[in-house]
Amino acid sequence: MQFSIGRLIFFFTILLVFTAGNPSIAQTNKKAVAAADTLNPIESLVSFATKHLHIPYRSGGSSKKGFDCSGFVRYCFNKWDITLPHSSAAQAKKGQLIERKQAKPGDLIFFKGNSTKSEHVGHVGIITEVTPSYVKFIHSAWNGGIRYDLLDADYYQKRFVAIRRLID
């Protein structure tokens, strides 16, 4: 079945007239718009962070041109008027300490830097998903930029330090 441009315009005009004159459909549309406006802040944060996948890593970076780990976290939380320092070690002092089994999306996850022997926080990410079998987070890694990783991966498991919650 082929439609000409004229037929499509006619069809959409009829649809518009029908929905505008039908209070139940108009009310449904208003409810859908209202629901979109009241998204859970944590879901919004995770969704916003995900939109930045594959942006390159840049040491000291805090913009879409490139992020380091703390710059990325700071950039994401700033959208919700939560100001964080541009240092993963300083960010690790913010919020409430959370046990791993209580982790949820939106929590910050902290790691030691390159050395597993270090006691200092050197890396941060945002938890995006928690299941009984894994914790998934998004972060800016020097070898891949903004990407997802799993806490249970050997590299991160050996460097895991803490989880902190900034948004309830």
Nearest Cα to Cα of residue 45 among 77, 71, 22: 77
d(CA 87, CA 90): 5
User: How many whole angstroms separate alpha carbon 146 and alpha carbon 142?
Assistant: 9
- Is residue 139 annotated as part of the catalytic site, yes or no? yes
Q: What is the DSSP string of 19-66?
A: HHH-HHHHHHHHHHHHHHHT--HHHHHHHHHHTTTTPPB-TT-EETTE
The answer to whether 52 is a known catalytic residue is no
Of 54, 86, 120, 123, the catalytic one is: 123
Annotated catalytic residue, options 69, 76, 86, 120: 69
Q: Which of 52, 54, 76, 139 is catalytic?
A: 139
What 8-state DSSP symbol labels residue 114? Answer: S
Annotation says 76 is catalytic = no
Contact 109, 122 (CB under 8 A): no
List, by residue number, the catalytic residues: 69, 123, 139
